[in-house]
Structure 1
Amino acid sequence: MSKRFTDNPQPELKSGFLTLLEKEMLRFWRVALQTIAAPVMTALLYLVVFAQVLQDRIKVYGVIPYIEFLIPGLMMMSMLQNAFANPSSSLIQSRITGNLVFILLTPISNGQFFTAYVLAAIFRGLAVGAAVWLMSLFFVPLPLNHLGWVLAFAVLACGIMGVLGLIAGLWSEKFDQLAAFQNFLIMPATFLSGVFYSIHSLPPFWQSVSRWNPLFYTIDGLRYGFFGVSDVSPWTSLIVVTTVFVVLAILAIRLLVSGYKLRY
Structure 2
Amino acid sequence: MEGNIIFALGLTLFAGLATGVGSLLAFFTSRTNTKFLSVALGFSAGVMIYVSLVEIFVKAKDSLTAALGATQGYWMTLVGFFGGILLIALIDRFIPKANNPHEVRTVEDVNAVQIKPQIDEERLMKMGIFTALAIAIHNFPEGIATFMAALQDPNVGVAIAIAVAIHNIPEGIAVAVPIYFATGNRRKAFNLSFLSGLAEPVGALVAFFILMPFLNDVMFGIIFAGVAGIMVFISLDELLPAAKKYDETHLSIYGLVAGMAVMAISLVLLVP
**TM-score normalised to structure 2 length:** 0.30
Structure possessing the higher relative contact order (Cα contacts under 8 Å, 6 or more residues apart): 2
Is the helix fraction higher in 1 or 2? 2
TM-score for both structures, normalised by structure 1: 0.31
Q: Highest Rg: 1 or 2?
A: 1
